[in-house]
Amino acid sequence: MKPITNPAMGRWLWLSALVVGLDQVTKWLAEGMLDPYRPLPLVPLLNLTLMYNEGAAFSFLADAGGWQRWFFAGFALVMSVVLVIWLLRLGSREYFTAAALSLLVGGAVGNLIDRVLTGRVVDFIDFYVGNWHWPAFNVADSAITLGVGLLLLGSFREGRGR
């Protein structure tokens, strides 16, 4: 019988802490070194551009009047708790899923800190091709994207019997 929790999997939360730390440091540096909405070319296809997002992904609900701050903060908090519980229930050899969940938790908490402290998320990575710009993002967003990708990849691996 599988245990209800596997506290040993909690060691994966170092990855979450690393994501939160990198996210907060890079946001602090971006705010200290960049002028808002003024691109700083880094390499072809990539600028550093300080922007603020009061909504969710792609600025969804950014103009909703303020209630979205606490809605998204609450959602991030609930999801983080759910993901940590899921992590603690993993089997001892489920490393792939543990890494994915840890990245998701770190990303959610990184953006949660911004929402609670300032009501907006700091974004500064500006990927573009020609005149088309992907919505700006940050380290937390990157960790969330990577975590989701790993979960999807893991589900395909399981479906094939590894």
Whether residue 162 lies inside any domain: the answer is no
Catalytic annotation on 63? Answer: no
Is 156 part of a structural domain of the chain? no
- β-partners of residue 43 are 46
Average pLDDT of the chain is 88
With respect to residue 157, please indicate whether it lies within any of the assigned structural domains.
no
Catalytic residue among 23, 114, 123, 126: 123
Instruction: Choose the weakest-confidence range: 60-64, 108-112, 149-153.
Output: 60-64
- Quick check: is 139 in a domain? no
More confident position, 114 or 68: 114
Phi, psi of 126 (to 5 degrees): -120, 95
Q: What is the pLDDT of residues 29-73, one digit of tens each?
A: 999 999 999 999 999 999 999 999 876 655 555 555 566 667 878
Mean pLDDT, residues 20-36 taken together: 98
Could you give the 3-state DSSP secondary structure of residue 123?
Answer: strand
* Single-letter amino acid code for the residue at 102: S
Q: Kindly state whether residue 153 falls inside one of the protein's structural domains.
A: no
Q: Could you give the CA distance from residue 8 to residue 97 in angstroms, rounded to a whole number?
A: 14
Q: Does 10 or 4 have the greater pLDDT score?
A: 10
Q: Which two tokens stand for residue 83?
A: 């993901």
Helix, strand or coil, per DSSP, at residue 20: helix
Choosing from 23, 114, 126, 141, which is the catalytic residue? 141
* 123 catalytic per annotation: yes
User: How many folded domains does the chain comprise?
Assistant: 1
Cβ burial of 11 (10 Å; 0-12, 13-18, 19+) is exposed
The boundaries of the domain holding residue 69 are 14-55+62-133
In a domain, 159, yes or no: no
